Structure 1
Amino acid sequence: MKFLKINIICLFLVVMSCKETNKQANNDLQIDVYETSAKGNKLTKLTNFVEADSLVTITLNPEQKLQTITGFGGAFTESSAFLLNKLSKENRKKIIDAYFSEEGAHYSLTRTHMNSCDFSVSNYSYAPVEGDKNLDHFTIEEDKDDLIPFIKEAMAASKDGFKIFGSPWTAAPWMKDNNKWVGGKLLPEYYDTWALFFSKYADAYKAEGIDIWGFTVENEPLGNGNNWESMHYTPDEMTNFVQNYLGPKLEADGKGELKILGYDQNREHLKEWVDSQFKNEETSKYFDGTAIHWYASTFEVFPEELQYAHNKAPNKLLIQSEACVDAEIPVWEDDAWYWKKEATDWGWDWAPEKDKHLHPKYAPVNRYARDIIGCLNNWVDGWVDWNMVLDTKGGPNWFKNWCIAPVIVNPDTDEVYFTPLYHTMAHFSKYIRPEAKVIGLQNSDDKLMATAAQNPDGSIAIVLFNELQIPKSISLSLNKKKVEFSIDAQAIQTIVIPKS
C-alpha cells in the first residue's frame, strides 16, 4: 500500500508538472527583463521583482509597424579621442568595448565633426590655405593622431559595424563673409568649393578605411549665441545649397548614396525647415531626412513638431543628432545625482522669459529616458548622444563649454566612471537594432513611459521608464499571451521577448 501511495503521488506530481508546462507554453509570455534603477541596478537581468500595488496593462500590436530604426549611439569628438589617448591601453579598450562590442552598448549610429567644433582642443580646418578654391591643399592630418584611431578601434570592436555621419560646424574663415570661426555666412563664390569639401572628406576618410554614411549640412545653422564655431543659413539658403550644389556634386562624384540630413538644430523651429526642404520634388530630391537637437527644453519632446516633420516627408529620415547634459560639470562616482532633479541647462540662466518654463531643474537619467522614448513614439528613427568621453571638468574643449558624457575619466589617475547615462543609452542601443520596426503599443498608464520595436530577427524589445517614487506592476500582452512582472520606482527596463 505504501509503495502504491508513493506511485500515485508521483503520478499526480508529473501530471501537475505537465499541466504547468502546458500552461506556460500556451498562455505565458516568455521574457527577459533588464533594469537600471536609482536603487543600484545597472542593466541587471531580473529574476525576482518588487511588489507593487499599481497595475499597468500594456498590449503590443506588432501588426502595426511604424518607422524603421536607423540606430542609436554617440559622437566621435576630438575631446573624447584626446582623453582616450591619455588613458592606459586597458582602460581605453574597456571604454571602446563598452560602447561598441556586442557585450556592451553595441552602438550602431554615430556622428563626428568635420573641421573643429567646441569639443576640439583648438580651431582647425581641413582647408587651411586661404583662397584654395579647388581644395588642392585639403588635409585631414589633424584627425590622424586621435579621431581616426578612435573610430578604427571602435570599428574593430563592433561585430555588426555602425553608421557614421559627419557634421561641419563651420567652413574655414576665409570662405565666410565675416572671415571668422564664429558666425557669418558662406560666401556665394565658395558654394562650389564647400560642396567639394564634403566629397573630399568622404574620400579622405575612405582612404583611412572609414566609410562615411552621410552628412548633416550644418551644425546649428541658426547659430549658438556666437560662442564657438558656427556658420549661419536660413532654411531656404540651406535648401538652395543642397539642391544646387551639395547634392549634384556628390552625385557627380559617384557618391549619391551618401545621406544628406538638413537642419540639425532644436525642434521648436522644425516646421519652417522641413517646409523649405520638402517644398516640392525639386527641393526634396537630395535631402534624405532631417536632423534635430533637444536643447529647446529639458523635458518637452515637441511631439507636434515631430509629427509635422514626419507627415511632411513620411519616407525621409528623422534623426536626433545631438544631445547632452550641458552647462554642468560632471559629478564623479555619485550615481544618485544622476537620478535627482538637481541639474540645470543653459536655459536655466539664459532662456528668454517666455521660454523659462521649458528649462526647469531635471534629473539627467529622466531627461535621456523620457526623450528617447518620446522620440521613438513620434517617428524619430535614430538617436545620437554627444561626447562619449569627457573629463572630470566636463572637457577638454577650447571654449570651456563644460558638459557631461555617459563616461567620465580622470586621465591623471587613469580612472573611469560609467555614469547611469551610459546604462540608460544601452537600454535602447543594445536591444533595439538597426532595421527594427517600431510597433504599436497600448499603455493604460500615462505616467509610465513605454515604447516597443520588433528586431529583424523577430525578437521584440519594450523599453519602460518609471520616474515615479513608487513601483508598478505590469501585465504585458502579445497575441493573447500574457506575463506579469513589475518595474521598480525610478527605474528603466528593457523587456526582451525572444523570437517565436
Structure 2
Amino acid sequence: MNKLSSLMAEKTGKESKYQEIKNATYGTVEEQQPLGADTAPYMTRMSSSNISNEKRTIFVYLCQNIAWVIIIVLLTIIFALAGERASSLQESADLVESTAKASSIKWRPCQIYTDATEDSVKILQTSIGDPSNQWGEIPCLVRKNHKLPYSKIYDDPQWNWLFGSDGNTKTPIEYGSPSAVIKTDFSNIAHPKRSPILGFGGAFTEASSLNFMSLEKPGRDAVLELLFGSTGLGYSLGRVPINSCDFSIESYNFDNVEDDFELEHFDMKVSHDVESGMVELLLHASKTLNDAWSGDKLNVMASPWSPPAWMKKPTKADPAGSEHAVNMTGSAVPNCLREGTGKESRYAAAWALYFTKFISAYKAWGVDLFGVTVQNEPEFPAPWEACAYNPSIEADFIANHLGPTLQRDHPDVKLLIFDHNKDHAVKWGKQILNKHNPASKYVNGTAIHWYAGGMDRLLDGAVGQPNVHRYASMLKYQNVSDDHILLGSEACHCPSTGYAGGDLKVAWARAERYAHTILADLAAGSQGWVEWNLLLDSIGGPNHLGNMCDAPILAVPYRIGKHNVSELPVFEHADYPFGPVAGDTRTREELNALGMPAEYVDKGVIVQPMYYYMGHISRHVRPGSRAVHALVDQSEFGRTFQESDGTNVIAGGGVNDLARVGVELTFWPCEGSTRQAWTFVDNQLQVYGHDWLGAPTKSCVGKEVDVSFKGLLLSTCNDEAAIFDIVPLNATLGTSQILFNNADATEGQNCLSLLGLENSGGAYGKRGGSQATIGSCDDESAVWKFNATTGEVISNLYSESGGEVCLTTGWPYLQSGAFIDKDGENKTVIVLNEASDSANYVLRGDDGEILITNSIPSHSIQTILL
C-alpha cells in the first residue's frame, strides 16, 4: 500500500512517479494522441468567453484526474492482495522508468497469454539498472483474450478502462512491439539419449576453506546458505584438489617418503585437508544441501595438480643431475612421471594407487567422491603444481595403471579425462575414447575448462563453443555409453576480484559472461558447471603463486562493523598486487546500492553480481533437468536492437565489447546490433567497439582458419586480416560472393562460407552459432547479401529452417536457454540481455503458442518459471 501510495507523491513541481511510468509504458499524452486538429480547439475552448464551456472542460479534467486516483486506489488493493507480486511492483516500476529513459525502444509491460492462472507464471529479474534488487519478481498482467494481436490492445473489454478518451471515441494504447521472438519447444529435448543435467557447483580448495574458517559463525552460516541452502544457489556439485594446487598457501602432499611405492606412509587421515577446514566445509555443505533441497546429494569429484615431487621427472629448473623434481611446481614435458606411464613404471603404479588411497581417506571422513579426473590441465606445465601429459601418455596411464586400480578398489567412482580447455578437447577425446584404445573402457566422462588459454583474460569463456558441439557429436561414434559425462569442471575470472576493482560495469560483465557460457555449454550438451574457488578473499586469494582470481562470494571478516578499512588475512601471500582494494573504501550502504547486500557485509561476506546471475540458473535448473530447444529469433516487427529514424538505420545494443582480436566469428539470427554491424573499408571487413575497461577496439576478419577452433577469428587489421573482393552474383536478389585474396586457399576454394555446427546445433539448432570459414565458392554456404546500410553480412542458407542469419562477433546480445525438470512438469526459460539497450520480446512455446510478451532491460537476466 505504501509503495503504490508513494507513486502519487510530489504532484507539485514535477510529474508523479506513476505518471512517468505510465508515459514510459504507454507513451506520453502527445504520443497517445498526437498534437494536431484536437489541440487548437482545446486551447480555443479554454480561452473562450463561453464560461459554461470552460467550466465543462474543467469538470472533465477533474473527473479524469479523479478517475486516475480511483484506478490507482483499486490497483493498490489488487496488488496488495497479490502478495509477493505487489512487493516487487516498485522495483519493477523503477526499472521501467530508467530503461525507458535510456532507450528509444518503447517499453512493453509483461503480459501472460496462457489459459493458466497468474500464479503459474513467475518472472524473476536481476538488472544493472537496479543492482540491489536481485531475483526481483516482475508483476505480470493476464490477457484473457488471446486472439488479439499482441502488438496492440484495441477492443478488449478488460482494458477499456485504461484507454484515453476525447469524449467520443476510445483511443487504443499501443505497446512497444516485440522485436525478438524466443522460440521454445519443450517437447524437443536437445540430447534425449544422454544423461540429464547433474547440476552446478564450485571447488573446495584450501583457499576456500581458509576463508570460510576466517569468518565468525554468522558468516559461516551465511556462506553455507548462500551456496547450498534453500534460499541460495543450491549447489550440488563440488571439486576438491588431490594434494595442493595454486590456491593453497604452500605445496603439500600426503606421502612425501621417497620411493614408497606401496604408499605405506600415506596419511590416511588427510590431516592437512582436515586442519585447513576443507573436510569440515565439505561435510557442512553436504548436510545443508541435503536438508534444503529434498535430499539432493552433493556430488564431489577430485582432481590432481601434481604428484609428490619424488614421483616426477626433474624439470629444466632443477639442478643438473637431479633424479627427480625438486618441487611439485612445474612439470617436465610431455610426461611428468618418472619411468613414464608404461606397464613397468613403478611411479605410475604408485601414483594410481595414490588416487585410491585418497578416495578411501575421504570416504572415512564421510565424503564419498563420485569421480576423479586424471589430471588438471595436462597440456600446461604451469608455474604452480603441474603434471604434463599428451593424449597418448594419459591414455597409457589410464590403461596400464589408473583404470585397473580404480576398477579394483573403487569400481563405483567415475573416471573423467582431459580436464583442460575447449580448444583441444576433441583431439583428446578422439584418441582416448577410440574403441581400439584400451583406455576407453575405463573412462566415464570428460571434463572441460572455459579458459581461452592465452594471456587475454577477456577471452575466457568467449571461445571454443563449436568444439563442445563437436565433442558431443563425436561421443556418438566412440566407445562410450550414453551416460558419458560431459562436464564444465573449472571456470573463473582473473585477475583479482570485482570488489577489489570497484567497477560495477566490470563486475557485471563478468556475471554476464558466466551466464552466457553456462547456457551455451548446456545447449551444446554439457551436464553441469563447476566454477573454481567457492570463496576467496578481497583480492582473490590466497594463492601461493600470486595467481589471483575472482569468485561469486568473498570473505572480508575485517569489515564486520567497519568501513574504509583495508586488511588482508594472515594466510594471504600477496601484497595488493593490483593496487588498493576499491571495495574497502566504500561504506556498507554504498556496497548495498551496488548490489553487494549490506546484510552480508555485516557478517563479513561480499556477494557479487556473478552470484545472482548464477542463481538465475542453478536455483531453477535442478539436477535431472534437460535442455530443450530455444533460440532468440527476429520477429515480424523487425530486428531486436536495430533502430531507424526514417533515413538512417543504426545498429543498436551499445558499443560492441566483443570486437576484439581472438573472438570467433559465428552466425545467428539477425538482431540488428553492433555485434553484427560491419564496415567494408580498404577491402577489409572491420568491426568497432571497446573492451570491458573502455579501451577502444578495431578488429577485422582474419585471413586464416584457426587450427583448433576450425573457424575464422577476429584479427588485427594488418597483415593478419583478410583482403576481400565482393563479387556480385545476382543483381535482382542482391547476392554476392566474398572472396579471400590473401588466404592460403586455391581459387574456387577461397570464399567466405558458413560452416554448420555438429551435434545438430544442440538446443540452439542449426541457426544458433554456426561458424564462419573459408570454403568452396560453388556451395550455397558461400552466397551472401552485404547490406552496406546496416552493415549486416547475411546468409539465407537456413531460410527453410526459420530465416536468415548474420555474421556475428562471438554471440548475440540477446540469448536464451530453456529447460524442463526431471518430472517434465516445470519449465524454465532464461533470457540474457548483454546490450546497453532494452529489448521487447514474445516468448512462444510448443507449436508457436504465445506464452508471454515482455521487455528485458539492458544488462539484465530474467528467469521465467512456467
TM-score by length of 2: 0.50
SS in 2 for 1:304: helix
Q: Is the 8 A contact 1:121 1:397 kept in 2?
A: yes
State the partner residue of 2:241: 113
Q: What one-letter code is carried by the residue in structure 2 that aligns with 1:484?
A: T
In the TM superposition, residue 330 of structure 1 has moved relative to its aligned partner by 4.0
Distance of aligned partners of 1:58 and 1:330 in 2 relative to their CA distance in 1, 3 Å threshold: closer
Q: Cα RMSD between the aligned structures?
A: 2.2
SS in 2 for 1:403: coil
State the partner residue of 1:65: 189
State the partner residue of 1:74: 202
User: Which of 1 and 2 has higher RCO (CA within 8 Å, sep 6+)?
Assistant: 1
- 2:359 equivalent among 179, 196, 202: 202
The separation in 2 between residues aligned to 1:279 and 1:419, in whole angstroms, is 43
Q: Is the 8 A contact 1:247 1:286 kept in 2?
A: yes
Distance of aligned partners of 1:52 and 1:153 in 2 relative to their CA distance in 1, 3 Å threshold: farther
The separation in 1 between residues aligned to 2:180 and 2:498, in whole angstroms, is 35
SS in 2 for 1:161: coil
In the TM superposition, residue 283 of structure 1 has moved relative to its aligned partner by 3.2
Structure 1 residue 452 corresponds to structure 2 residue 818: yes
In the TM superposition, residue 94 of structure 1 has moved relative to its aligned partner by 0.1
Q: Is the 8 A contact 2:498 2:506 kept in 1?
A: no
Structure 1 residue 303 corresponds to structure 2 residue 465: yes
Distance of aligned partners of 1:167 and 1:23 in 2 relative to their CA distance in 1, 3 Å threshold: closer
**1:147-188: per-residue Cα shift (whole Å, max 9, x none)?**
001111111211322210000001000001111312130123
**1:382-409: per-residue Cα shift (whole Å, max 9, x none)?**
1111111111121112111111111112
In the TM superposition, residue 198 of structure 1 has moved relative to its aligned partner by 1.1
Q: What one-letter code is carried by the residue in structure 1 that aligns with 2:313?
A: D
Q: What one-letter code is carried by the residue in structure 2 that aligns with 1:133?
A: F
In the TM superposition, residue 64 of structure 1 has moved relative to its aligned partner by 1.6
Distance of aligned partners of 1:299 and 1:221 in 2 relative to their CA distance in 1, 3 Å threshold: closer
Q: Is the 8 A contact 2:450 2:461 kept in 1?
A: no
The separation in 2 between residues aligned to 1:23 and 1:109, in whole angstroms, is 37
Q: What one-letter code is carried by the residue in structure 2 that aligns with 1:149?
A: E
State the partner residue of 1:430: 619
Q: How does 1:9-20 map to 2 (within 5 A)?
A: none
Q: Is the 8 A contact 1:27 1:482 kept in 2?
A: no
Distance of aligned partners of 1:469 and 1:54 in 2 relative to their CA distance in 1, 3 Å threshold: farther
**1:378-436: per-residue Cα shift (whole Å, max 9, x none)?**
11111111111111121112111111111112233342110001111111111101111
The separation in 1 between residues aligned to 2:629 and 2:356, in whole angstroms, is 40
SS in 2 for 1:92: helix
The runs of at least 4 consecutive aligned structure 1 residues that moved more than 4 Å come to: 26-29, 51-54, 332-335
The separation in 2 between residues aligned to 1:97 and 1:243, in whole angstroms, is 42
State the partner residue of 1:38: 128
The separation in 2 between residues aligned to 1:45 and 1:52, in whole angstroms, is 21
The separation in 2 between residues aligned to 1:94 and 1:335, in whole angstroms, is 25
State the partner residue of 1:321: 489
Q: Is the 8 A contact 1:127 1:172 kept in 2?
A: yes
State the partner residue of 2:422: 267
Q: How does 1:274-285 map to 2 (within 5 A)?
A: 274-280=429-435, 282-285=438-441
Give the stretch that moved more between structures: 210-219 or 403-412: 403-412
Q: Is the 8 A contact 1:109 1:163 kept in 2?
A: yes
Q: How does 1:119-130 map to 2 (within 5 A)?
A: 119-130=247-258
Q: What one-letter code is carried by the residue in structure 1 that aligns with 2:370?
A: W
Q: Is the 8 A contact 2:237 2:530 kept in 1?
A: yes
Distance of aligned partners of 1:26 and 1:80 in 2 relative to their CA distance in 1, 3 Å threshold: closer
The separation in 2 between residues aligned to 1:418 and 1:491, in whole angstroms, is 17
The separation in 1 between residues aligned to 2:220 and 2:503, in whole angstroms, is 22
Q: Is the 8 A contact 1:388 1:405 kept in 2?
A: yes
Distance of aligned partners of 1:161 and 1:449 in 2 relative to their CA distance in 1, 3 Å threshold: same
Would you say how many aligned residue pairs link Structure 1 and Structure 2? 451
Q: Is the 8 A contact 1:222 1:232 kept in 2?
A: yes
Q: Is the 8 A contact 1:331 1:337 kept in 2?
A: no
In the TM superposition, residue 481 of structure 1 has moved relative to its aligned partner by 5.1
**1:435-458: per-residue Cα shift (whole Å, max 9, x none)?**
111111242144311111111132
The separation in 2 between residues aligned to 1:78 and 1:285, in whole angstroms, is 33
SS in 2 for 1:275: helix
In the TM superposition, residue 27 of structure 1 has moved relative to its aligned partner by 10
- 1:401 equivalent among 547, 568, 572: 547
Structure 1 residue 183 corresponds to structure 2 residue 323: no
In the TM superposition, residue 206 of structure 1 has moved relative to its aligned partner by 0.8
Distance of aligned partners of 1:330 and 1:394 in 2 relative to their CA distance in 1, 3 Å threshold: farther
The separation in 1 between residues aligned to 2:396 and 2:229, in whole angstroms, is 40
Distance of aligned partners of 1:62 and 1:48 in 2 relative to their CA distance in 1, 3 Å threshold: closer
The separation in 2 between residues aligned to 1:56 and 1:208, in whole angstroms, is 52
- 1:484 equivalent among 829, 839, 853: 853
- 2:265 equivalent among 132, 137, 141: 137
In the TM superposition, residue 366 of structure 1 has moved relative to its aligned partner by 2.3
Q: What one-letter code is carried by the residue in structure 2 that aligns with 1:383?
A: W
Q: Is the 8 A contact 1:116 1:122 kept in 2?
A: yes
SS in 2 for 1:221: coil
State the partner residue of 1:212: 369
Distance of aligned partners of 1:231 and 1:263 in 2 relative to their CA distance in 1, 3 Å threshold: same
The separation in 2 between residues aligned to 1:278 and 1:221, in whole angstroms, is 17
State the partner residue of 1:193: 350
The separation in 1 between residues aligned to 2:834 and 2:400, in whole angstroms, is 47
In the TM superposition, residue 210 of structure 1 has moved relative to its aligned partner by 0.7
